[in-house]
Amino acid sequence: MTGRAFLNVEASLTGRRWIGPSEDEARLAEAMAQQTRLPMALCHTLVKRGVAPADAAAYLAPALRDLLPDPLSLRDMAKAAARFLAALKARQRVAVFADYDVDGGTSAALVILWLRAMGHDATLYIPDRIDEGYGPNVPAMRALAGTHDLVICVDCGTLSHEPIAAAVAAGADVVVLDHHLGADTLPPALAVVNPNRQDEDGALGHLCAASVVFLMLVEANRLLRGEGVTGPDLMGMLDLVALATVADVAPLVGVNRALVRQGLKVMARRERVGLRALADISRLDTAPTCHSLGFLLGPRVNAGGRIGQADLGARLLCCGDEHEAKALAERLDELNTERRDIEARVREEAMAQAEARGFDAPLVWAAAEGWHPGVVGIVASRLKEATNRPAIVIGFEGGIGKGSGRSVSGVDLGASIHRLAEEGLLVKGGGHRMAAGLTVAQDKVEAAMARLSELLARQGAGAGGPADLKLDGLLMPSGADLALVERLEEAGPFGASSPAPRFAFADMAVTARRIGESHLRLTIKDGMGGSLEGVAFGAFDTALGPALFEGGHTRFHIAGRLELNTWNGRTKVQLRVEDAARA
């Protein structure tokens, strides 16, 4: 451990060490403020993202036209777009085989809506999570190939050698548009467009599948323009790309940031019938943000694939009828509530099991009979967040376990899972850096998890304790006004690999009241007339709640993220409290 902790907080109420801007970062932020006249807090945020003063203006107003890569920079893109257009022109039968999560559903919707705008239909096929599992399977692909000329696999297919071979043998062409880690050999598809193929340079490896599909549609539109034909409006489809990017926890850097930023503007227009119905059932009454995509809309689109009918989410996103959309949104909302109940039970059992096994290893894992495969990924996320370690959660049925894993920054879980599958410890497995899925025989789970722990340790997993809390700087309550927050928002959108700026407020008096079982509403005051309202969700799940609630005359350093809270048409600044330490 080097350097002094920020505000001398070596161990906060949640056990974390506070890390502030380095001397170099502080000097660079000062220089940027002088050159650009931007607020110092915003300069600290830009410096942390590696933005130079000369690039600040462009970063704060990212233009998609400047950041969108050439679709043809991806291998097989020319073949994929040409075959796609050939199917359209010949009015051939097209099937879209999609994964059952948000990325798969939005990817399928993009293809189907584009074809619909051109007066052509496509068949949607999403496998059942429990009966068929992830990705293409031989019976489904063979059946689709028997009734379709072209099968497009979205958000899946890169590792599906046998199912794709079955489709090809049955007479159909197959195009794969995916982003999951590829193997040394590719399936016998006509085209496999995937920035994470082994023979790609990885420059676009951060794209989700929906973005890969979007690039294919960009190339299709370009080819049409060359023939004097106007293709569908692609900018109007960016709401779907934004939803997929955020829900799939793709890093919000480079073109992803521009795609999401523009997509949020499109979504705010409420023109897509399905998303409008979903926003209404989610009680989203303000302009959408990354938070609302990740925690309100995304989970509901996912709910059908997790515990209900797998294609509900994709059907909603494609839907053009108000009444049908309302019915689908209501059903997804019901399934999401049911999913939360199932998740809560599995989470409690998994946490107890993992705790008994110990949180000090490079890998935290839990497995049990009967855990629903639709929630193991969410529970793995909770374990990862609680321990700052990669986590795997597996549910067994009939001697076979279906599991899901989530990783931490700097640790490539997908590559390690893929290696386990190659070594024969898994029935199958794959994914990407931050998330992966696996199927494992019950009698091999201990050996598989031991080997996975070993592979992850080589990447540095488990080397630290609770994650350090990284802070962008120090603020006073009076400085945290509406104008500052609106300027900070220009550095967004915030999400994976681009966290919202986090600030500390030193030596604050705190008054707090409890909301429900575990939340706090509080006011912090600096003693000089400045005050700021805040909220601490889940505070009583940690030492944070009792300490702030019963603080009395104790003064605290408070850390959190500034956000805009709109209520009854009035917008004000609110601090989302994440941590605190006694001053």
Residues of the chain short of pLDDT 50, as ranges, are: 1
Q: Which amino acid is at 285?
A: D
Query: Which residues 6+ apart lie within 8 Å of 549 measured at CB?
Result: 512, 513, 514, 520, 539, 540
Burial tier of 258 (Cβ tally within 10 Å: 0-12, 13-18, 19+): buried
Query: What pLDDT score was predicted for residue 466?
Result: 61
Query: If you ran DSSP here, which 8-state letter would residue 296 be given?
Result: I
CA gyration radius, the chain:
24
Query: What pLDDT score was predicted for residue 1?
Result: 45
Query: What pLDDT score was predicted for residue 82?
Result: 98
Query: What pLDDT score was predicted for residue 553?
Result: 87
Query: What pLDDT score was predicted for residue 433?
Result: 87
User: What is the model's pTM?
Assistant: 0.90
Q: How far apart are CA 391 and CA 413, in angstroms?
A: 9
Tokens of 208: 């989700």
Query: Which residues 6+ apart lie within 8 Å of 108 measured at CB?
Result: 96, 98, 124, 126, 154, 314, 317, 318
Tokens of 502: 């986090």
Query: What pLDDT score was predicted for residue 78?
Result: 98
Tokens of 399: 């001697």
Query: What pLDDT score was predicted for residue 189?
Result: 98
Query: What pLDDT score was predicted for residue 580?
Result: 97
